[in-house]
Structure 1
C-alpha cells in the first residue's frame, strides 16, 4: 500500500499559529507509513504525540539515491514517551533524509496511536 501523505502546517513569519490538531495515527499510518511531499527537510519539524500505553519509536527513513549522499548514516529513530508523550523531531539534513522526488518518509512502531503534525519553518527575514 502507498504511504499516506501528510501536508505541511506552515509557521507564520512575524505572526502566530493556533495549535493544530494534527493527523490521527491509526493502523493505516502504522502499516504504510507517512510521506511528506515537496519536502524541504531543513525547514521541516515533526510533532508526534503518543497516546499508546507504551513508549513508541518513530523513524524518519534515510534517503536512497544520489541526492541522499549521507543516507548511509542510517535512519533517525526517536522514542516518544507513553500515554501523554510529545516529541518534536527535526529539522533534517536533505543529504541524509530526502527521498527521490523531494519526499520524506516517516514510519511508526507497531501499536503507535496519537497524532502527527508536520510544520514548515519560515525562511529567516
Structure 2
C-alpha cells in the first residue's frame, strides 16, 4: 500500500504564514495519507473540497501507544464543491500510530489537506 506524506505547515508565533497549497488527497484503501513524526495535540487539518461531498477519516492509532484507540476512527463529512473543514487538534492517546505518525484516509481525490502545526509558545 502506497502512502502519501502530508508535511506540516508550521504556524508562526507573532508572525505570519502564506496560505499553503495543501496535499491532494488519495483514495483509500489503495493509498493512505500520513503525517510522519506527528504532534497530534498541536495538529489541525484544513480540508478544502472541490468535488462531491466526502468523508475524511483520521484513523485510530495502535494500542500501544494509543491507549484510547478503542474509541475508533474520527470520520468528518466535508461539504461538496466549496467545503472547507478544519479538523483537530487531536489526542495522542487516540490517534498516534506505533511509528509516531497519524494516518488519514479520504473518499475521493477532489480535495487538498494541509496539516498545520500550532506552535507551543502562543
Q: Using structure 2 for the length normalisation, give the TM-score.
A: 0.93
Distance (Å, rounded) in 2 between the aligned partners of 1:102 and 1:92: 13
> How much is the aligned-residue C-alpha RMSD, in angstroms?
1.1
Q: Deviations over 1:68-122 (max 9, x none)?
A: 100000000000000010000000000000001110000011x341211111000
Q: Is the 8 A contact 1:49 1:86 kept in 2?
A: yes
- Structure 1 stretches lacking a partner, 5+ long: none
Give the number of the structure whose residues are more often helix, by fraction: 1
- Runs of 4 or more off by more than 2 Å in structure 1? none
| Distance verdict in 2 for CA 1:116–1:98, change over 3 Å | same
Aligned to 1:5: 5
Q: Is the 8 A contact 2:37 2:100 kept in 1?
A: yes
Aligned to 1:63: 61
Q: Is the 8 A contact 2:46 2:113 kept in 1?
A: yes
User: What is the CA-CA distance between 1:50 and the residue it aligns to?
Assistant: 0.7
SS of 1:95 mapped into structure 2? helix
* Matched length: 120
Distance (Å, rounded) in 1 between the aligned partners of 2:119 and 2:80: 31
Distance (Å, rounded) in 2 between the aligned partners of 1:24 and 1:67: 29
